[in-house]
Every structure is written in C-alpha cells, then in structure tokens.
Amino acid sequence: MFERYFSLPRTVDRIRASWLAEPIERYVAWLTDHGYAARTIWRRVPLLVHFGDFTRQQGATALIDLPHHVEDFIEHWVTDQHPCAGNVKGRARLAKEVRNPIQQMLKVVVPGFAGRGRPRQPENPFYAQVPSFFPYLREERGLREASIRHYSDSLRNFAAYLCGVGLSNLHDLSAPVLGGFAMDCKQRGIAWESMRNACGVLRVFVRYLHREGVLTKDLSSAVEAPQTYRLSQIPRSITWDEVRRMLEAVDRRTPVGRRDYAILLLLVTYGLRAREVAELTLDDIDWQNERLQVPKRKAGHSTAYPLSPVVGNAILAYLKQDRPGTEDRHVFFRIFAPQLPLTYSAISGRASHYLHKAGIPVSRPGSHTLRHTCVQRLVDAQFSLKVIGDYVGHRTPRSTEIYAKVDIASLREVACGDGEEIL
C-alpha cells in the first residue's frame, strides 16, 4: 500500500521501520477506501511516523497506549517543531491539523477509541428522576431521531432555567415556575418559533411527569406558548424566473455542480423535503418505467412520481460521472472525502448556497424555499388543494391552505379596480 503513494524506496523503508508501520498501513487503506486524495495521504503518513517515534520514546509498547500520548505529541510538535507558528490562533489551528489525522487513525486501529471531540451533553438532562422519558418518545410516540434531538435541546434549556431559579427536584414544579419559562426564553432573545416549540416540548414533558406520578397534578396548561394565528404567515416561495436564475448559477462542468443541479431539480420539481432527498436510494428510481418512488415521507406514507426527463437526465449525469463507487445505495454523496451520503442539513445548505449565489432575497433560504415554490406554482396552475397536498406529501389539507391565500394575479386585479366586483 505504501508503494502506491511513495515512489522512493528509502521513503518506504523509513515508514516500514516505524513500530506503527502496520497500523499506519491499515489507516492508509482506510483513507483510500474512503476516497481521500493522494496529497492528503502524502501529508499525513510522515506525521504519523513522527508520532510513532515520539510515543516509542515515551515508553509506549502497544496500540492501547497511544491515546495517552496524543496531547503531549501535539504540544511537542507545535512548540519544538514549529516554534514560529505565530499567534495563539495560529498555534491552535496547527494543533487541530495535527490532532485530527492522529485521532482518525486511532479510531481505525484502536478498538473503542472515541477521540477528544466536543463534550457530549446528556440526551436527557433529567435522567436521574425520569429515565424512561426518551424511551417513551421513541417507543410509544414513535418520534424520529431529529425530533428527539429537538426535545433534548429544549429540555436542556428548561434544566438551565430551573437551575437559575434554584429548583432541582421535579416534584417541586409549580404553575408559576412553568409559566415563567416562556418569559425567560423571551428575555434571552430566543426566536418566536423556538419559544413555541420549546413550550410544546415542555407541555409533553409535564404531562408525562403527571402520568408517571412525579407530579400529583397535570400542570401542562400553565405552560403558555406565544400566541399563534393560522395563516398569519405567507409562504417563502420565489418566482419561476428566480428559479431559473438559481439553476443558472450552478456550474455543471464540475462534479459538485452536477450533483447539486440534480438535487435542486428534485426539490423544486417535486417539492421534496431535504430529508426525503437525502434518503433517496438507487432502488427508488425505476428507469425502465420512468418512475420515482419517495418512501417513508413525513406523513408516514410513500409517493410515486413520473420521472421528469429533465430531472432524470440530471440524476443520470451525476450517477455516471461523479457518484463514488460504493456498495451504499444512497444516491447523493459528498464529493470530497470521506465520501459519505449527504445529510438533510447538507441538502438544505446547498439550496441556501445557490439562492445566495444568485442574489435572490428570501427569508430563511433553504430547501423549504424550493418546496414552497413548487406548491405555489401548482396553486397558480389552479390545481385543487387536495391534489397539491397529495403531490407534496402533506398530512392534512390544513397544511396546504396557507398557499391558497397568495394569488398575486387576483390581488393585482383587486388593487387596480374599485373593488365593487367582490362586494
């Protein structure tokens, strides 16, 4: 494996002389399998050889000893090998560049090694008092992991609020304490949507506490969320001319551009959610019958679409030229290593990127902007709300009603006339 990347025999001999030669070679094979560039391997292998020399001098004799010497080696490398690293920020950046490949190799060769990373916060901040709440969310309510993370974030905010008011036992919760949570969120500058969601999470949590006997009374009514009004907001759609501008901003001469062009077409043609695009697999595309299957939608059903020639050709161009050779059946992958399937946040981020690049002003740009655009175009074409809801996978017609109130052409007629025809 080393000979594949290093042509000089003495260089290969120097690497094989290291006591970490075999683990390093396993790591190089892992990098190769995950599509890392040769220049990345050229840069990392010498660093790992130096790491092996350092750990041997420090008395390491087995792979299990290596994690204990990572930070010492980084300090040695930054201080002794690069004394002119610059200011504190420059030294921190150099330390990160050294730490990442070492920790990545250790994850490959040392069983159970997790790395330094960010400190993980507990999923359930109230585990000591109600350990079964998150199993309840998963098993009884059937929530997705993305929703579970929202619950975890909101409960951590609630735990911080209780700490601030000096309350540690959930048995002592009262209506005034719960009622003050929304006010505390407002004082900390939390956005309106986040406040509403946090209060919804807290109501579910308080009802569960009452069900489990932690609270003798159901206090969920004391959690007052911000007032909401149905149909108070307008969709975040853009015009079809702006869609063309966005698509023209994609450089389809590059692998990234070809992949992103196919993603954008899926979002705006079928009104798919970012998660639905991220979860598409090769098995969902029936090329022979020109059908696109979208399984496991938010409403719990699946939808089959005719495969548009434009969308199909864009996907085909990406699959033939740029999709990595892998046994994973997902359609869309990262172009650069590690070549893993794109996440839903990455899908939304690509949509936001091209909306900004095309100079299209829209609030909260992302994949849902294109979903709203798809629905608005169907409304303008006079399709019924039931047909539109089925097309984009809405759970109920109420979800589609928001688009019915934005009819720009009719509003222009009203504005230009005297309004008598509508009386």
Active-site residue set:
273, 298, 368, 371, 394, 403
For residue 331 the two structure tokens come to 């359609």
Residues 164 and 152: their CA atoms lie apart, in Å, by 18
- CA end-to-end span of the chain: 81
Residues 32 and 25: their CA atoms lie apart, in Å, by 10
Quickly tell me which residue has 């490959």 as its tokens: 108
Query: Is 402 within 8 Å of 231 (Cβ atoms)?
Result: yes
Backbone angles phi, psi at 291, to 5 degrees: -130, 145
Residues 139 and 270: their CA atoms lie apart, in Å, by 32
Residues 147 and 133: their CA atoms lie apart, in Å, by 14
Residues 66 and 168: their CA atoms lie apart, in Å, by 41
Query: Is 331 within 8 Å of 287 (Cβ atoms)?
Result: no
Paired residues of 306 in beta bridges = 291
For residue 238 the two structure tokens come to 């853009």
